[in-house]
Structure 1
C-alpha cells in the first residue's frame, strides 16, 4: 500500500485530536454567546421600526443573519416598503452562499441535514469553522457556534422586542439609534479587514449618500448593497 493510500485524501485536513475539538467547542460557545447578546438590540430596533414582537421573532427564526435583519428593519423604519427592504436584505445575505461553497466539503451534510446546515451558514459560524485545524474540529466549531448563536439570538430578540414594546414609544428614550449603531458594529470588521473590503465599503457609502435625496427610502440601501456584488463574485471565483 502506498503512502498516498495510507494518508488523507489530497486537499483534505486530517481529523483533529480531541483537544482541538474541545477548543473548537469553546470558541463556538464564546462567539455564540457574545454575538447572540446583540439580539437584544435587534429586538428593540425592530419594534422601534414598527414591527410587532411576534414579527421581530419570526424574522430572527427564519432569516437568522444579523446584518440583513438590521438592514430590513432600517429600511422599514425609514419609511421604505417591504419589497425594497427585503431585496436589500437578500443582497447583503448573498455572501452566505459563497460561505456555503467554502464549507460544503467540510460539513458534508446530506438530505435534511444539508438544509439545516445551510440555515446556519453565516459570518460567525464560517469564521469559527475555518479557524480550526482538521475537519472534525471545524465541524465541532461550526455546529457549536450555530446552535449557541441561534438559541441566544432568538431568545434575546424576544427579550429586546418585548421590553421595547412595554416602553410605549422607544424613540422617546433614544432606542431608535440602536439599529444603526449595531448594524455599523456588525459591518465594521468587514470595513477594516482588508483594502478591497474598505474600497467596497467606501463605494457603497458614496452610492447611498448620493442616492438618498433622489430616491425613495430603501432604494439607496439596495444600490449600496449591489456595489459589493462584483467583489463577491470575484472572491467567490478565486475560491
Structure 2
C-alpha cells in the first residue's frame, strides 16, 4: 500500500463511525423488506447510501422492485456532475478509468479535495476503501444483530444520514460559489420534493450544484496573488 493510499485511509477515519452507523441503520430498515442476504450484497455492489435508502423507502411505501430500482438510479444520477471534478485524477483506458470511478463517493468528494481543488486518485482510493468497509460492515451488523438494536427512529439513526451530508457540506462553504450552489440546491430539493418522484429532486439539485465547480475570479475568496518564481 502506497503512502498516499495510507494517507487517504487516515483522512477517511474521522467519518468512519458515521458511515458504520449509516450502514447499521440501512441494515435494520432493509431486513423486513429485503431479507438477510440482499441488503449486504446491495451495500457491497451498489455502495451508494442515498440510492439504497431511496430504494428501501419505495419498498416500504408499497412500491415494487422496478420502482425501487428506478428511485435508486435517479439518486445515483448525482455522481454524473461529481464525476466532472474527479475525472482528471484518473489514468488509463476507458475500462480502467471506469473501475477507478468506483472511488467517486460523497465522502471522497469532500475529504479528498486538495487546496487547489484537484484530486489524487490514490488518496481517493484510500478514502473510498475506508468508507466501503464501514458501509458494508455496518450493513451486516444491522442485518444480523438488528434484533438486539434499538429501532432506528427511536435511536435517532434516521437523523444521521442528513447530518452526515451536512457535515461534509460545511467544509466546502468557505467558497462564495459553493454557498450559492448549496442554497440553490437546497431550494430545488425542498421545492421539488412536493411534486417530483423520489430521487428526481436530488438529480436536479446536483445539476444546479455544478456552478460550484466554476473557478472564482476577480478577487474571490479562492483567488490571491500569484506566487513569484524563484531561481
TM-score, normalised with respect to structure 1 = 0.68
Unpaired runs of 5+ residues, structure 2, are 174-178, 216-231
Taking the TM superposition and a 5 Å limit, the aligned residue runs for 1:1-239 are 23-32=7-16, 34-48=18-32, 50-110=33-93, 113-131=96-114, 138-164=120-146, 166=147, 174-175=151-152, 180-189=158-167, 193=173, 194-208=179-193, 210-211=194-195, 220-228=197-205, 230-232=207-209, 238=214
Shift in Å, 1:235: 5.5
Q: What is the distance in 1 between the residues matched to 2:163 and 2:8?
A: 24
3-state secondary structure, aligned to 1:131: coil
How many residues are paired up? 205
Shift in Å, 1:115: 3.2
Unpaired runs of 5+ residues, structure 1, are 1-17, 212-218
Shift in Å, 1:221: 1.5
3-state secondary structure, aligned to 1:126: helix
Larger relative contact order (CA 8 Å, sep ≥ 6): 1
Question: Rg: which structure is higher?
Answer: 1
CA contact (8 A) 1:38 1:156 kept: yes
Greater percentage in helix: 1
Alignment CA distance shift 1:89-1:123 (3 Å): same
Alignment CA distance shift 1:227-1:191 (3 Å): farther
Shift in Å, 1:224: 2.8
Shift in Å, 1:143: 1.2
Q: What is the distance in 2 between the residues matched to 1:134 and 1:195?
A: 17
Q: Give every structure 1 segment of 4 or more consecutive aligned residues whose post-TM-superposition deviation is greater than 6 Å.
A: 132-135
